[in-house]
Structure 1
Amino acid sequence: MSQETTHLTAAGQRLEYRWVGPGPAAAPTLVLLHEGLGCVSLWRDFPERLAAATGCGALVYSRAGYGRSEPIALQRPLDYMQREGEAVVGPVLDATGVRTAILVGHSDGGSIALVHAATDPHRRVAGLVLMAPHVFCEALSVRSIAAARREYEAGELRARLQRHHGDNVDVAFRGWCDAWLDPAFTRWNIEGYLPRVSAPILLIQGEDDVYGTPAQLQAIARGAGGRVETLILPGCGHSPHRERPEETLAASARFVRELLG
């Protein structure tokens, strides 16, 4: 399959995507689900490196309102992660022919991965690699997102993000920021999905993550219906695959190889 960025249509949305490595008939597929400000390009070379280290293919896509995918109308609903996991990830896998999936999610993408693994009627999910996922709203997250809003409005964050999101930059940022800073979002919680996640999980989090505490990982380990491994990386913030790429790649590749036997 092509490594070029192109578009697919799933759940009525035109979405940017890229495929790396062998197709779904030849190998299992790593499905990379990006963070709340992420998109295809912000994964950088991590999909290629993880695919090469595991022999899997890799599917990377930008959710609606991100990257070069179609825009959305604001405000995002406060249950946007549940909606993505239940109603969009499956059609994306259908559209690309994925048969066996290892979900690799970062931040919001990790939360979406958990929801999809819990609700996928086709049971295609063989495992999950989750970097800095969240299953409930913490005061730390809210404070850090409020600081990000100040940087977006008065600093250089908007210009940095525009290089990746283009015309979607305001939709991407406001959709994420306004949802998390809505007072009602303090009640957001997806722990109820966890007992239905039976596939093995690898959790990776930076010790210095300003968007979530180890309580998130503890809740997942306590509530998940399958085996859970946890890796805490010292000297690392919210993005292990960018800040500590070698350790993150090694742990993820080992987990996937063991998972696939």
Structure 2
Amino acid sequence: MKKPNTNYTKSGRVNIAYQVFGTGSFDLVYIPGWVSNIDLMWSCPELVSFLTELGKVARVILFDKRGTGLSDRIVELSTLEERMEDITAVMDAVGSEKAILFGHSEGGSVSALFAATYPNRTVALLTFGVFAKRRFTEDYPWAPKDEQRQEVYDMIENSWGSGDMNLDSLAPSKANDKVFMDWLANYFRSGASPSAALILTKMNTSVDIIGILPSINVPTLILQRTNDIDVKIEEGKFIAKRIKGARFVEFHGDDHLFWVGNTREVLDEMIGFINALKLSDKSGGQLLTIMVAEIIQKPEVKSLISIDYEQIDEQLIQKYKGTLHHIDGNICVATFAGSAKAIHCCLDFKKTLEGLNLSLKAGIHVGDCFIEDNKLAETEAVIKTRQINSIAKSKQILISQTAKFLIPNMGLKFSSFQPSPYIALPNLFTIEDILSANVKPSMGETQILSKNGFLLDHVMQYIEDNLNSEQLTVEMLCDHLGLSERQMQRKIKAVTNKSPNQLIRSVRLHRAKELLIGKIDDVAQIAFQTGFTSPSYFSKCFKNEFGMSPSELISLD
């Protein structure tokens, strides 16, 4: 089968690479595990054969998640909800209203969360070698212990993509196939840089989807091999038991990769599942993050008549893509398609109110929601969120463990909160934005954070607005945003794992890649248009960023 054309779509500011092939009654979105490169997939005969068979029964949609493969690597830290947005962006780009989600390994985690959050866009959930968490606990003893995860971190840092990474454990049946193992090492190297792979691996360590599994209400098939070394067979059984109506199928073998070993058996099970599916129009609940926030008047503030609560609520909630459902006096109730959005909305809300001599307390929880005509039903999850808010103190944001487990820390500090022993609300945490802690913000920074959204959004916008200027410097960026250079360095490094100079160069290079793909101009002119004064230096930087020269990119079919 000929390699499909590679296309790009935007997920926010990030370019996501995708391919489409095959025909069938349903669309199937493949969410790969760990890292991927959709172009190099077509260099592996075993994988090509597997994908070709899938393409006979479904329209197959492949993509590289943000930070990997052919997609942008500008922002390497990402949340599960951002990855869900990548899926919806690709589905929208190809006109797919609903699709089967096929998640492999850690791709199964985001697939499960997507199925629970967007049931109206999910036909069915299909996973292979999926896990619920990557950190050992007594109730999930099959996950690696911290010292085992550290060994993985060390291998990535010291031996990324080489034989020292013990890649044959992913495909024992191919351990003596040098051609395959060389391809697999190259696939990982081209899928992510060592630093990107390390960040992604550490992010996965903090994720736990156990709490959302009962919220999945679509047909589900869980596939696993008996002696898979990377993900234990008990993990698949554990997950299947917690999803209503899920079917678990166990195959002989020890390969973690689905496209090697007894692939015919795996394909037959998948194809039979796909052919038996029927579209359902029934509407039901969906998994959402609920926020109940309460504005508290300080005793010294005598009148709040001039403050429009509803306008403050609506502006902040809309900025974080949430939905405001109810305002009752000083209390508002909103929902979000992810915990991170709700958390940062609360933090922004809190900072804004402090500027008005007011304070905030809030509760955040994840659970099943039923919405009709924008009215949010008082489900068990909504009631629990109200209870969490009721025990929060002034200036305190409390979050449930279920919501906490769906996001990496990423500049946030979570501290265990112990309510009164008479209150049956265990496993709560307070949230603190450690990037802003102990730093008195300037007027410019306060305006940026409280009125205009994430700092990174404004950094990116300023860089893009001045992209063709070779004079663009970190000093100019600091002056524009009202930050010291030290603050800028610290905040940008925490969010992107790059220095401000590296970020500026990376944005220039990604814009240049877009122009080269569109064949807008020749290499030299595009270099000048994106702020590079030397075409040779531009080519060197481009190859370091993307693993190929500008000329090699242009020559790709």
Look up the SS of the partner of 1:212 in the other structure: coil
Match of 2:134 among 128, 134, 137: 137
Q: CA deviation at 1:202?
A: 0.9
Q: Provide the C-alpha distance between the structure 2 equivalents of 1:7 and 1:105, rounded to a whole number of angstroms.
A: 21
Look up the SS of the partner of 1:99 in the other structure: coil
Q: Is 1:244 equivalent to 2:262 in the alignment?
A: yes
Match of 1:235 among 225, 229, 253: 253
Amino acid at match of 1:244: N
After superposition, where does 1:1-261 map in structure 2 within 5 Å? 3-22=4-23, 27-40=25-38, 41-42=40-41, 44-45=47-48, 46-52=50-56, 54=57, 56-74=58-76, 76=77, 80-85=79-84, 87-120=85-118, 123-139=120-136, 140-141=143-144, 146-155=150-159, 157-158=161-162, 160-163=184-187, 166=190, 168-180=192-204, 185=206, 188-225=207-244, 227-260=245-278
Q: Provide the C-alpha distance between the structure 1 equivalents of 2:132 and 2:36, rounded to a whole number of angstroms.
A: 19
Amino acid at match of 2:270: S
Look up the SS of the partner of 1:242 in the other structure: coil
Look up the SS of the partner of 2:193 in the other structure: helix
Q: Provide the C-alpha distance between the structure 2 equivalents of 1:169 and 1:154, rounded to a whole number of angstroms.
A: 12
Amino acid at match of 2:51: P
Q: Deviations over 1:208-247 (max 9, x none)?
A: 222222332233222213x211111222232223333211
**Relative to structure 1, is the Cα distance of residues 68 and 171 closer, same or farther in structure 2, using a 3 angstrom cutoff?**
farther
Q: Provide the C-alpha distance between the structure 2 equivalents of 1:242 and 1:191, rounded to a whole number of angstroms.
A: 28
Amino acid at match of 1:81: L
What is the count of residue pairs matched by the alignment? 244
The answer (yes or no) to whether the contact 2:68–2:191 under 8 Å persists in 1 is no
The answer (yes or no) to whether the contact 1:20–1:59 under 8 Å persists in 2 is yes
Q: Provide the C-alpha distance between the structure 2 equivalents of 1:240 and 1:144, rounded to a whole number of angstroms.
A: 24
The answer (yes or no) to whether the contact 2:226–2:251 under 8 Å persists in 1 is yes
Look up the SS of the partner of 1:208 in the other structure: coil
Amino acid at match of 1:127: A
The answer (yes or no) to whether the contact 1:135–1:190 under 8 Å persists in 2 is yes
Q: Provide the C-alpha distance between the structure 2 equivalents of 1:29 and 1:252, rounded to a whole number of angstroms.
A: 14
The answer (yes or no) to whether the contact 1:10–1:95 under 8 Å persists in 2 is no
**Relative to structure 1, is the Cα distance of residues 29 and 165 closer, same or farther in structure 2, using a 3 angstrom cutoff?**
farther
- Where in structure 2 are there 5+ consecutive unaligned residues? 137-142, 163-181, 280-557
The answer (yes or no) to whether the contact 1:34–1:109 under 8 Å persists in 2 is yes
Look up the SS of the partner of 2:277 in the other structure: helix
The answer (yes or no) to whether the contact 1:114–1:197 under 8 Å persists in 2 is yes
The answer (yes or no) to whether the contact 2:32–2:104 under 8 Å persists in 1 is yes
Look up the SS of the partner of 2:229 in the other structure: coil
Q: CA deviation at 1:72?
A: 3.7
Q: CA deviation at 1:13?
A: 1.6
Q: CA deviation at 1:259?
A: 1.3
Q: Deviations over 1:178-214 (max 9, x none)?
A: 3345xxx2xx321222222111111111212222223
Q: Deviations over 1:111-154 (max 9, x none)?
A: 11100011116x12111110011112344445665554454455
Q: Deviations over 1:24-58 (max 9, x none)?
A: xx732010000013342448323222121x2x100
Q: Provide the C-alpha distance between the structure 1 equivalents of 2:73 and 2:118, rounded to a whole number of angstroms.
A: 26
The percentage of aligned residue pairs carrying the same residue is: 20
**Relative to structure 1, is the Cα distance of residues 149 and 90 closer, same or farther in structure 2, using a 3 angstrom cutoff?**
same
The answer (yes or no) to whether the contact 1:39–1:63 under 8 Å persists in 2 is no
Q: Give the TM-score normalised by structure 1.
A: 0.81
The answer (yes or no) to whether the contact 1:130–1:203 under 8 Å persists in 2 is yes
Q: Provide the C-alpha distance between the structure 2 equivalents of 1:240 and 1:167, rounded to a whole number of angstroms.
A: 18
Q: Give the TM-score normalised by structure 2.
A: 0.40
**Relative to structure 1, is the Cα distance of residues 92 and 6 closer, same or farther in structure 2, using a 3 angstrom cutoff?**
closer
The answer (yes or no) to whether the contact 1:90–1:120 under 8 Å persists in 2 is no
Q: Provide the C-alpha distance between the structure 2 equivalents of 1:254 and 1:64, rounded to a whole number of angstroms.
A: 32
Q: Provide the C-alpha distance between the structure 2 equivalents of 1:192 and 1:72, rounded to a whole number of angstroms.
A: 31
**What is the aligned-residue RMSD (CA, Å)?**
2.7
Q: Which is worse superposed, 155-164 or 33-42?
A: 155-164
Higher RCO, Cα 8 Å, sep 6+: 1
The answer (yes or no) to whether the contact 2:4–2:20 under 8 Å persists in 1 is yes
Look up the SS of the partner of 1:7 in the other structure: strand
Q: Which is worse superposed, 241-250 or 38-47?
A: 38-47
- Where in structure 1 are there 5+ consecutive unaligned residues? none
The answer (yes or no) to whether the contact 1:65–1:71 under 8 Å persists in 2 is yes
The answer (yes or no) to whether the contact 2:104–2:130 under 8 Å persists in 1 is yes
Q: Which is worse superposed, 144-153 or 235-244?
A: 144-153
